[in-house]
């Protein structure tokens, strides 16, 4: 397996996975867990043909707030190669952001001084979305007021629901008429994470992110360190991973 530089790898993750970039897992103290996250992006053509892309990521967060993610690298359409798994370890205690690719015993390490963790209780994640490559933050103009969806239990976890609608004005991204994106989001107040998120646009596009196999327990300590036989390379990325999603 060839070695992959941190900067080019980070750019590939952002560009190649732009349509289904997952929500960020925040660094929270005292709320460890493990999960499997499933992302499904659906595109509907004018003739009714549906294209569905699915990707699975594994998350681990320890009691100190460090987060490990294991995610397959996006591959070109039609590729028969097994995609390498990209492992990232976001240690906000030490300020290190580490990235490794399966098959290459090399760890790219970015020092980020000043990175902080937060303690429980935490603020619920705000609603954001993406449409046609345009990232939309929670404070951007075009959003409706939030509507409460109440509370319930998902995969054994207590969650609180909220819904907002974003309107993409005609001509903003080349669209001939206005497009609306409805976002329904269910989040855990105890863990500070999104457990289920559904973005649906009037173009027929849909993005569904949901967690399964969610276990609230301390993951093994070795998951948050670089293996001893790996070579560490200190680098500075040109682009860092973003947290968003798309229904475009």
pLDDT over threshold 80, residue 7 = no
Residue 153 has φ and ψ, to the nearest 5°, of -115, 130
The helix or strand, by DSSP H or E, that contains position 141, with its residue range, turns out to be none
pLDDT in tens, 193-239: 999 999 999 988 899 999 999 999 999 999 999 999 999 998 875 54
**Average pLDDT taken over every residue of the chain:** 83
Query: Which is more confidently placed, 116 or 48?
Result: 48
Please tell me which of 3-12, 75-84, 172-181 the model is most confident about, judged by mean pLDDT: 172-181
CATH-assigned architecture of domain 6-234: Clam (2.50)
pLDDT at 114 exceeding the cut of 70: no
- Cβ-contact 89, 68 below 8 angstroms: yes
Q: Extract the runs of DSSP E, i.e. beta strands, from 117-176.
A: 118-119, 129-131, 134-136, 147-154, 157-168
Answer yes or no: are the C-beta atoms of 90 and 97 closer than 8 Å.
Answer: yes
Q: Which of 75-79, 161-165, 199-203, 210-214 has the lowest mean pLDDT?
A: 75-79
* Higher-confidence position of 48 and 71: 71
Please check whether residue 168 is in contact with residue 180, taking contact to mean a CB–CB distance below 8 angstroms.
yes
**pLDDT score of 82 more than 90:** no
Nearest alpha-carbon partner for 243 in 194, 204, 200, 174: 194
How do the domains of the chain map onto residue ranges?
6-234
Two tokens, residue 95: 């300020």
pLDDT-derived band of residue 63, with 50, 70 and 90 as boundaries?
Answer: very high
């Amino acid at each position: 397996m060839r070695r992959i530089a941190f900067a080019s790898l980070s750019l590939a993750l952002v560009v190649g996975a732009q349509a289904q970039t997952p929500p960020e897992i925040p660094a929270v103290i005292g709320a460890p867990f493990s999960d499997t996250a499933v992302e499904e992006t659906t595109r509907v053509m004018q003739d009714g043909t549906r294209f569905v892309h699915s990707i699975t990521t594994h998350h681990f967060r320890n009691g100190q707030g460090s987060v490990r993610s294991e995610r397959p690298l996006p591959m070109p359409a039609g590729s028969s190669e097994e995609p390498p798994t990209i492992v990232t370890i976001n240690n906000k205690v030490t300020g290190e952001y580490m990235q490794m690719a399966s098959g290459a015993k090399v760890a790219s390490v970015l020092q980020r001084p000043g990175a902080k963790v937060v303690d429980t209780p935490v603020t619920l994640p705000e609603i954001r979305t993406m449409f046609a490559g345009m990232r939309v933050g929670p404070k951007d103009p075009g959003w409706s007021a939030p509507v409460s969806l109440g509370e319930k239990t998902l995969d054994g976890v207590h969650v609180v629901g909220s819904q907002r609608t974003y309107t993409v004005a005609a001509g903003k991204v080349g669209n001939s008429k206005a497009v609306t994106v409805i976002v329904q989001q269910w989040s855990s107040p105890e863990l500070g994470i999104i457990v289920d998120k559904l973005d649906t646009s009037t173009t027929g596009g849909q993005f569904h992110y949901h967690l399964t196999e969610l276990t609230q327990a301390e993951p093994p300590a070795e998951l948050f360190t670089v293996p001893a036989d790996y070579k560490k390379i200190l680098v500075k990325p040109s682009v860092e991973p973003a947290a968003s999603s798309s229904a475009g």
